[in-house]
């Protein structure tokens, strides 16, 4: 059995080279840039007014007289009027500043009578309320660096310099295979021994949470040949997640089925709770995670391990880790890393009740997984712990 850190290192080490693709900017939210983008143009592309007001030449104003308004310029249009001494042009936000004009006074700061305006802004300086050409980005300068995640603002920023396509890291194709003879679907009669299947929909939702959809979900009985066929039919995926049948029972046939499919085992069993029987392997194309079937173990292994592999494709860290003080004491066994369902509070993080691997009642209201170290047994209120934010 290997430690949690060793297991995570294996996943990082065996991660695949990320693929890239060209995407329309309108579909690129949340993707990570696979290229450094240079500003295609100066932004703003021309000197323009930051206010609705009056534009004039500061040095050509005698600082005593009212200004005479000789014309107007609207956003989207142009005005080639030239101002003489003590003349101004009515201007609106975003309109290009006419030649010879370097200053705008906002309309609220003037008194207008006919075509004369008296300036009432004592703080006005040369250059006030003009947004100079290239003052955000100069053409050819770096607009956004490679590996920057595209936010809504980032998309708007790139659109503002004429971009309509970007090259980003691709998301992996993920398939889910659910195993277990006892599993029935919602709506079917719950006969003794049967349970409602919940890992498939839970994993689909968790994958959607990290931006992966659609996901194919197959369900098979605990029969070697059936599991084998299900795996074979998904080997073109980048990541395959199996649940159930990975432990040591007579019907835990997943490791044997994976071997028959030519999957190279990287590790099987990790010193952790929940999710001790976790299996990780690969083919030339796919990474394979076989998770124990208990629903809380499935979710824990997904957030702690599978997301790491997804991140290696997308080059994006989907879940944040924090260091927080514990709100309660906890005693654990030595030799296993614990991942406990937790809830962050104003002061730190609280360990929830119902931590067993078949229980989801605490997981359902948790916003984080609290990691307790392998070697430590006694945790006291106030001890600092690492938490993985999952909500």
Q: Which residues bind Mg ion (CB under 5 A)?
A: 180, 244-245
Give the nearer residue to Mg ion in terms of CB position, either 44 or 244. Answer: 244
Of the candidates 249, 385, 391, the one whose C-alpha atom is nearest the C-alpha of residue 324 is: 385
Q: Contacts with ligand AMP: how many residues (CB under 6 A)?
A: 18
Give the nearer residue to ligand AMP in terms of CB position, either 201 or 389. Answer: 201
* CB-CB neighbours of 272 under 10 Å: 24
- Alpha carbon distance 275, 54 (integer Å): 69
Structure tokens at 374: 């392998």
Q: Is 199 in the site for ligand AMP (CB under 6 A)?
A: yes
Q: Which residue among 34, 55, 178, 253 contacts ligand AMP (CB under 6 A)?
A: 178
Q: Which residue among 91, 158, 176, 183 contacts ligand AMP (CB under 6 A)?
A: 183
- Alpha carbon distance 388, 391 (integer Å): 9
Give the nearer residue to ligand AMP in terms of CB position, either 119 or 183. Answer: 183
Residue 185 CB, nearest distance to ligand AMP (Å)? Answer: 11
CB-count exposure of residue 169 (10 Å: 0-12, 13-18, 19+): buried
Q: Is 275 in the site for ligand AMP (CB under 6 A)?
A: no
Would you give the binding string for ligand AMP spanning residues 291-320, x where CB under 6 A is met?
Answer: -xxxx-------------------------
**Interface region with ligand AMP, contact rule CB under 6 A, candidates 65-73, 94-102, 244-252, 316-324:** 244-252
Residue 243 CB, nearest distance to Mg ion (Å)? Answer: 9
Give the nearer residue to Mg ion in terms of CB position, either 188 or 264. Answer: 188
Give pairs for 327-332: CB < 8 Å, separation 24+.
Answer: 327/351, 327/381, 328/381, 329/378, 329/379, 329/380, 329/381, 330/372, 330/379, 331/377, 331/378, 331/379, 332/372, 332/376, 332/377, 332/379
Please give the residue whose beta carbon sits closest to ligand AMP in the complex: 293
């Amino acid at each position: 059995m290997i430690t949690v850190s060793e297991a995570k290192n294996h996943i990082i080490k065996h991660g695949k080279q990320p693929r890239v693709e060209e995407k329309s900017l309108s579909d690129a939210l949340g993707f990570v840039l696979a290229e450094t983008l240079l500003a295609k143009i100066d932004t703003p592309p021309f000197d323009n007014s930051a206010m609705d007001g009056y534009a004039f030449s500061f040095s050509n104003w005698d600082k005593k007289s009212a200004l005479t308004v000789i014309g107007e310029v609207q956003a989207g249009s142009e005005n080639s009027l030239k101002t003489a001494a003590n003349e101004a042009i009515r201007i609106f936000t975003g309109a290009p500043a006419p030649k010879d004009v370097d200053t705008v006074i906002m309309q609220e700061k003037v008194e207008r009578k006919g075509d004369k305006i008296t300036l009432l802004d004592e703080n006005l300086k040369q250059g006030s309320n003009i947004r100079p050409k290239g003052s955000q980005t100069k053409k050819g300068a770096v607009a956004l660096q490679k590996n920057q995640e595209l936010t809504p603002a980032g998309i708007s920023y790139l659109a503002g310099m004429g971009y309509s396509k970007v090259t980003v890291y691709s998301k992996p194709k993920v398939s889910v295979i659910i195993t277990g003879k006892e599993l029935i679907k919602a709506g079917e009669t719950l006969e003794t021994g049967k349970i409602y299947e919940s890992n498939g929909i839970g994993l689909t939702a968790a994958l959607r949470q990290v931006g992966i959809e659609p996901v194919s979900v197959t369900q098979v009985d605990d029969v070697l040949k059936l599991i084998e066929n299900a795996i074979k039919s998904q080997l073109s995926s980048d990541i395959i997640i199996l649940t159930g049948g990975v432990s040591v029972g007579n019907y835990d046939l997943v490791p044997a089925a994976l071997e028959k499919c030519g999957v190279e085992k990287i590790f099987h069993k990790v010193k952790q709770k929940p999710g001790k029987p976790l299996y990780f392997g690969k083919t030339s194309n796919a990474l394979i995670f076989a998770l124990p079937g208990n629903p809380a173990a499935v979710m824990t292994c997904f957030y702690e391990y599978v997301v790491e592999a997804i991140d290696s494709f997308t080059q994006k860290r989907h879940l944040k880790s924090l260091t927080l003080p514990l709100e309660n004491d906890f005693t654990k066994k030595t030799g296993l890393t614990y991942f406990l369902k937790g809830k962050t509070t104003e002061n730190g993080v609280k360990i929830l009740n119902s931590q067993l691997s078949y229980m989801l009642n605490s997981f359902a209201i948790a916003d984080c997984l609290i990691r307790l170290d392998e070697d430590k047994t006694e945790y006291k209120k106030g001890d600092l712990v690492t938490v993985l934010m999952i909500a």
